[in-house]
Amino acid sequence: MDIREAIRLRSSVRVYTDRAVDEAVVRDIMEAAIMAPNGGNAQPWDFILVDEPAKRKEMADLVNEAHNFYFREGRRDKSDKVKEGDAIYSTLYKVPLLIVACLNQKYHRMDDDYLEPEYFWDIQSGNRTWKDLVDIQNVNRVSSFPERIVKFSLDSKTIAIGEGTMLRIWDVFTGEPVDLYFTHQSVVDTLTNVKDIAFRPNGNILAVGYDNGSLIFWDSATRKSIGEPILVGMGVNAIAFSPNGNTLASGDLSGTVSLWDVVTHEQVGQLRKAEDFLPEVVNIAFSSNGRLLASVDGSGAVTLWNVKTLEQIAAPRLDTNNAVLTVIFTPDNSTLISGSSGGTVMMWDMSSRQPIGELIGHTNAVNLISINPDGNLAVTSDAGGAMFLWDISIHSWVDKACGMVSRNLSQVEWQQYFPDEEYRITCPQWPAGE
């Protein structure tokens, strides 16, 4: 039989037997496979031979799950295809040997515009560490997934990455995937993409907000959804757990900020309502004591809320020249930090609602701010890909300023800058000014 005849007469086999395959035949198949053409002779593949019955059964179940999910996506009526898949993959585990072809992205290269791996950085040295998550390079980002959501677990051992309809959990220390979640089948449609992820502070629960307006709680131990999805109504843009983990706040496209009981999934409050005709909510953040909630809307306005009374309270007058995109409280609740569309990062005193200072460096919109548990370091990143590490300790600022000037303010300088305050020593290591 020549190659043309083989192509014409080929057929698809979907019924399998348990007859053993000779080792020589397997070797011939593998040798033929590795002769396939590949760009730059990179040979970016690995082949895994699976003959253990339990592993074959586990793989057959995973393939069947993915097959059925594919035909359910978009609410297409493909029930016949789902049944067909069940029949096919229920016999797949009987095959004596499975050959799994894998794309090894360590040896796979694409243009920089399409190759977007996640990196880990050493805070002390500022250098990238060896723990690059090379296996989560988003080669379809431009055409398939409009955005990637990345969140660390509170113990920093895992990260959750949402892309399109899928949510993956990765081990930080090994760089290996540990879990894969598919969107709950009852809410699947063509617009069900992950918009935000939150880890519950005191339990193995992940909350995920989707752009079709659904909220799903996932049990990270069983990889199953907890109860039925909460249907918020419009696309969920932002979610956040209260510090005690009992309440989840959500902000959506309608401009509504809602509070949900994590156990009962019942709505327990609304801070902004759709009928108020407010811009969409793009970011929300709890204070570390859970008493305050800050919301940022699509116009760049920031609102502070009393979580207990559900009432709006006075907020700092944040960046008036640029739209605020994100906010975060310091762990001691003394300071609110905002990032804006113009690249401005501002620190605000929560007691006086006055600005403390500006962190200067970004030239693009600042869309992410994170603070370490000690509250003395902050990381900011912008739309241009720049990332900065900041010392945000006010006491550290004072120490550094005193070290640079080597003196206290003079009496004249004090009257010039603080006319309504009594003179005091601000640098304790130096004598009072004359």
Q: How far apart are CA 189 and CA 243, in angstroms?
A: 32
What phi, psi does 355 have (nearest 5°)?
-70, 140
pLDDT in tens, 8-46: 888 877 777 778 888 888 888 888 888 888 776 667 788
**Residue 390: Cβ within 10 Å count:** 17
How much of the chain is helix, strand and coil, in % rounded to 5? 20, 35, 45
Q: Tens digit of pLDDT per residue, the chain (434 long)?
A: 788 888 888 887 777 777 888 888 888 888 888 888 877 666 778 888 888 888 888 888 877 777 666 665 544 455 555 566 566 666 777 788 888 888 765 554 444 343 445 555 665 555 655 444 433 333 222 223 345 677 777 776 777 777 776 777 777 677 677 766 655 454 444 447 888 889 898 767 889 888 888 888 988 777 778 888 888 877 899 999 999 999 999 999 888 899 999 999 999 998 876 556 678 899 999 999 999 999 998 888 888 999 999 988 876 666 667 889 999 999 999 999 999 988 999 999 888 888 888 899 898 999 888 888 788 888 888 888 788 888 888 888 888 888 888 999 999 999 998 898 899 998 988 899 88
Give the pLDDT of residue 5. Answer: 86
Helix 79-89 to helix 53-72 angle, to the nearest 10 degrees?
170
The amino acid present at 200, given as its one-letter code, is R
**310 burial level (CB within 10 Å; 0-12, 13-18, 19+):** middle
At 270, list the tokens: 């609304």
Angle subtended at Cα 341 by Cα 339 and Cα 347, rounded to the nearest 5 degrees = 25
- Where does 164-310 show beta strands of DSSP type E? 166-171, 177-181, 194-199, 205-210, 214-219, 224-225, 230-231, 236-241, 247-252, 257-261, 267-272, 281-286, 292-297, 302-306
Give the pLDDT of residue 32. Answer: 84
Q: Where are the domains of the chain?
A: 14-103, 398-434
Residue 360, C-beta contacts closer than 8 angstroms, at least 6 positions apart? 345
pTM (predicted TM-score): 0.63
CATH number for 14-103: choose from 3.60.20.10, 3.40.190.10, 3.20.20.140, 3.40.109.10: 3.40.109.10
Give the pLDDT of residue 240. Answer: 94
Q: How far apart are CA 237 and CA 269, in angstroms?
A: 18
What phi, psi does 209 have (nearest 5°)?
-105, 135
Longest C-alpha distance within the chain, in Å?
103
Q: How far apart are CA 75 and CA 64, in angstroms?
A: 18
The total number of residues written for the chain in this structure: 434
